[in-house]
Structure 1
Amino acid sequence: MRPRSLTTTLALAFAATTLAVFGLVGTFVYLALEQQVKVQDDLDIVLAARHTRRLADELTDYGDILRHRERLESQVLGNEALSLRISDSAGKTLVQHNVDPAIGTLEMPTAAVPANAQITERAIAPLAIATGAPIRALAVDAALQNGTIATIVVMRDMHDRWLLLDRYRDKLQLAGVLGVLLAFCIGYFLVRRAMQPVREMAVNAASITSDKLDTRIEASRVPIELEPLVVSLNGMLARLESSFQRLSQFTADLAHDMRTPLSNMRGAMEVALARPRPVEEYQATLESGLEECERLSRMIENVLFLARAEHPQFAKNMRIIDGGKELQHIADYFEGLADDAGVHIVACGSAMLRVDVELFRRAVSNLLANAMRFTPAQGMITLSIHSAEDRVRVCVENEGAPIDPSLLERIFDRFYRADPSRGASGTTAGSAGLGLAIVRTIMDLHGGRAHAESDARSTRFILTFPVVEASDLPEGGSISRSQISNL
């Protein structure tokens, strides 16, 4: 089932709110009016009963009541809903005015107010005739001059009040229905108009394609409440554009770097097959092809590593280690390679790190192998670690020609070489331009940072890790040859 539109939902919510408000206000007003009408009618009954009893108290006997009948009836004249009945002590009716036959036969459910008692609204009793119309009546006793008692009953027919309240209730209900419909229509119009920026955002977003990733949603025309959403969407588009550009560049660089060894192998094979050759030349051609295959394998493995490292949970075997001991292990392993290259490796310092050990070794090994390629003979490479207040710094420093400051950030890009022509002058054979990119990716996985510094004295690659606390030192371990096989 398709969900209801947000505009309709909000309009219905406005209508329901209006209905609830109308219902509460209408009920309150109706009950207040009903109470006010009841109080006013009860006051009319009490006043009529008081005046009639005061007049009756001045009369001598029942005969005077008959003689002053018009005077007594005048207390209820002018209000057709009021009626009066005066009877003697035996219940015989002496005076009767505006009394409906159905009302005249009713008996008071309560005793009459005594002659010497105060008449109040609490003495009024509700009655009902056969038609169901409500009656409110008040019975009081009046003491005549000769000591006899006359009973005065003042009654109020509430049928007109019923009709008044019914009509008022009907009008309130009609006003409520019209108000709800009006609120729904106005709410629908206002919400639809307020949602116009959202529809414009949807149109703008629909126009963004792979070749228009630089398009952004205009934030100046949206309400303040939608600005965070627009900022977030534009940020997402910027990240997608950056990722798409990196992916395009990465794909182009990968294709270029894979084409080179394939072209080398194809050229060597074509030369070897051009004419019959000695076995030694065929063996040399196969060895050259094998080296190119190994280069391709290393490149593919590094690319797969970078692809897997995009997942935030890739570095999940985190533990606390002594960074100084790990640097010494790495230096010991590279000692043989360093002797062949004619350089010296020194490890110093100590600090605790929380890392994935295999990834940490790979990052430092990449930096160390890179330093060995550019350190002159008899040069020095220093592996150091020290902790500051809020970070731990691991530094791989080597002597040699400085790096142009404008390239210090670009050298961490994938497949980047200092030589724009992508020749061998900016790198060495076997390097695919992924070693430093892997280092930066590993640091991102650890929540750290990798950067380079270079001057006439030396070049320094610095890995910055968050500070950790540890109570026990981890067990030492040695680095395997496979960890530098992909440099």
Structure 2
Amino acid sequence: MPRRSLAVTLAVAFSATTLTVFVCVGWYLYLALAQQVRKHDDQDVVLAARHVRRLATELGSPQDALAHAQRLSSAVLGNPALALQIVDAQGRQLAAHDEGETFDEPPTPLSNAIASADVDLSPAHAGALVLAPDARITDSAIREWRSAHGVPVRSIAFDVALRDGATVRVAIARDMRGPLSLLDSYRDTLAFAGSVGTLVVLLGSYAWIRLALRPLRQIAEQAREVTAYRLDQPIRVKHVPGELATLVASLNAMLERLHAGFQRLSQFTADLAHDMRTPLSNIRGATEIALARPRPEEEYQTVLASNLEECERLSRMIENVIFLARAEHPRFETRRRAVNVHDELERIAGYFEGLAEEAGLAIRVDGGGTVNVDVELFRRALNNLIANALRYTPAGGTIVLTATPSAHALDVVVDNPGTPIAPEHLERIFERFYRADPSRTSAPDAMGSGASAGLGLAIVRTVMELHGGSVRAESDARSTRFILRFVDDAA
């Protein structure tokens, strides 16, 4: 199925709108002109009728009407469209004038013409169709009908009382072929003008829309050139309209995010490969040395234990990478519940107590409170921070775990003495595989936290993001502090 063109669709929509407007305006103008023409013609009929009535009331008898037929006909002289007919009570024609041959030739009595048009002249409707002698002649008494030859006619009929008491009936009609022909011509002109105007709008709007959509085509052309290796090149279009400027800005922002994401992914892949190469090289080197010549059983056991340690390091690294990848998925779910922070910190401190004693360190827990967290993720974050503190706290130092509740949040602080972290490293230490001190790469990985691979603090930040909280680090000559802020969801 061919794709629909936006330019064609808009042009057709504009043309349809224009045609609708032309039809409505043309119809209104046509009706207004028809009303004005009808009003003007009806005024001619009314004036002629009033003039004839005034002349007829001066007649003494119907015979006088025959004698003064020419004078009575003067009311319609000079206007070929007007016709006059006067008959007595018995239907005999007394006077008639029809220059435009509105009626049959020879002239047919107007009453017969009206009857042939199926217009009721019964006494019950006489007041509606034939005005009484004392009735006022207005355009509301004018009736529209067609003659025996189909000529459109608008006429008025009224009775006139003569001086002798007799009554004659006068009918004045106007041939409407001329006005209707004018209206038909006007209608055809409107139809032609509307059709031409619609066609001009169709072609013109299509051309203008094509021109207006040119920046959009340029955006599409540049977007087709975007690849994974060209994400750093923004879309640039000259003379972008305001409606498309937002689109261009959004696309460029998306490209920046994609570029940053690809850069992070590339860096992450390179760092992961580098960190995995070290234990693999250790395993391979130790194995090659062990196989170079026969050795005692104790040396083989030492090599196997060393290889097992490196395999565990690789497993922890892979597990941490998988966790980070899963945590970034939008559908990753946390199972939260209310936790007594003090009890949980005591439990974690007890878990690290043996390692702390071996290193000549102490762990103290202060404060408390309740927080709604995923317990497993909470423990994982604290394990990484405590393992990191054990690694860099000098012998004889004390690691302090503090929980401080506030109005709508709770802060958990891991505070340990030691060499301060430089300010330029404080914001980046939560990045994956980032190490503030590269010389510490080979530092022991306490309790298998994965921190020595540069993932421990990245996991802490991910855990806090999953909880809608935040993590930050502060460091000075006194100590280094990692502050976890859990926000109360109900606040």
Same fold (TM over 0.5): yes
Amino acid of the residue matched to residue 207 of structure 1? E
d(CA) in 2 for partners of 1:96 and 1:426?
A: 130
Measured after TM superposition, the shift of residue 390 of structure 1 is 4.3
Measured after TM superposition, the shift of residue 421 of structure 1 is 6.6
Measured after TM superposition, the shift of residue 76 of structure 1 is 0.7
The alpha-carbon distance between structure 1 residues 220 and 100, as it changes in their structure 2 partners (threshold 3 A), is same
Match of 1:435 in 2: 456
Match of 1:15 in 2: 15
Corresponding residue to 2:114 among 89, 92, 107: 107
Match of 2:260 in 1: 242
Deviations 1:376-397 (A, max 9, x none): 1121111112133443221111
Match of 1:55 in 2: 55
Measured after TM superposition, the shift of residue 402 of structure 1 is 0.8
Match of 1:475 in 2: none
Measured after TM superposition, the shift of residue 238 of structure 1 is 1.4
The alpha-carbon distance between structure 1 residues 469 and 60, as it changes in their structure 2 partners (threshold 3 A), is closer
- The answer on whether the counterparts of 2:18 and 2:198 sit within 8 Å (CA) in structure 1 is yes
Deviations 1:207-228 (A, max 9, x none): 2222221111237732222233
Measured after TM superposition, the shift of residue 465 of structure 1 is 1.9
- The answer on whether the counterparts of 1:380 and 1:398 sit within 8 Å (CA) in structure 2 is yes
Match of 2:75 in 1: 75
Q: Unpaired runs of 5+ in structure 1? A: 471-487
Alignment of 1:51-200 (within 5 A): 51-98=51-98, 99-101=102-104, 104=109, 105-107=112-114, 109-110=120-121, 111=126, 112-200=130-218
Match of 1:38 in 2: 38
Q: Greater CA deviation, 110-119 or 248-257?
A: 110-119
Measured after TM superposition, the shift of residue 352 of structure 1 is 2.8
Amino acid of the residue matched to residue 251 of structure 1? T
Structure 2 SS opposite 1:353: strand
Corresponding residue to 2:468 among 414, 427, 447: 447
d(CA) in 2 for partners of 1:236 and 1:121?
A: 75
Structure 2 SS opposite 1:153: strand
Match of 2:361 in 1: 343
d(CA) in 2 for partners of 1:422 and 1:172?
A: 90
Measured after TM superposition, the shift of residue 97 of structure 1 is 0.7
- The answer on whether the counterparts of 1:352 and 1:469 sit within 8 Å (CA) in structure 2 is no
The alpha-carbon distance between structure 1 residues 214 and 390, as it changes in their structure 2 partners (threshold 3 A), is farther
Q: Unpaired runs of 5+ in structure 2? A: none
Q: Greater CA deviation, 426-435 or 63-72?
A: 426-435
Alignment of 1:402-421 (within 5 A): 402-420=420-438
Identity %, equivalent residues: 55
Structure 1 SS opposite 2:114: coil
Amino acid of the residue matched to residue 447 of structure 1? G
- The answer on whether the counterparts of 1:399 and 1:458 sit within 8 Å (CA) in structure 2 is yes
Measured after TM superposition, the shift of residue 92 of structure 1 is 0.4
Measured after TM superposition, the shift of residue 425 of structure 1 is 6.7
Q: How many residues align?
A: 470
d(CA) in 1 for partners of 2:5 and 2:344?
A: 61
Measured after TM superposition, the shift of residue 45 of structure 1 is 1.0
Amino acid of the residue matched to residue 389 of structure 2? A
d(CA) in 2 for partners of 1:438 and 1:359?
A: 9
Alignment of 1:302-313 (within 5 A): 302-313=320-331
Measured after TM superposition, the shift of residue 125 of structure 1 is 2.0
Measured after TM superposition, the shift of residue 147 of structure 1 is 2.5
TM-score, structure 2 normalization: 0.90
Match of 2:398 in 1: 380
The alpha-carbon distance between structure 1 residues 371 and 215, as it changes in their structure 2 partners (threshold 3 A), is same
- The answer on whether the counterparts of 1:219 and 1:231 sit within 8 Å (CA) in structure 2 is no
The alpha-carbon distance between structure 1 residues 167 and 447, as it changes in their structure 2 partners (threshold 3 A), is same
Match of 1:370 in 2: 388
Amino acid of the residue matched to residue 311 of structure 1? H
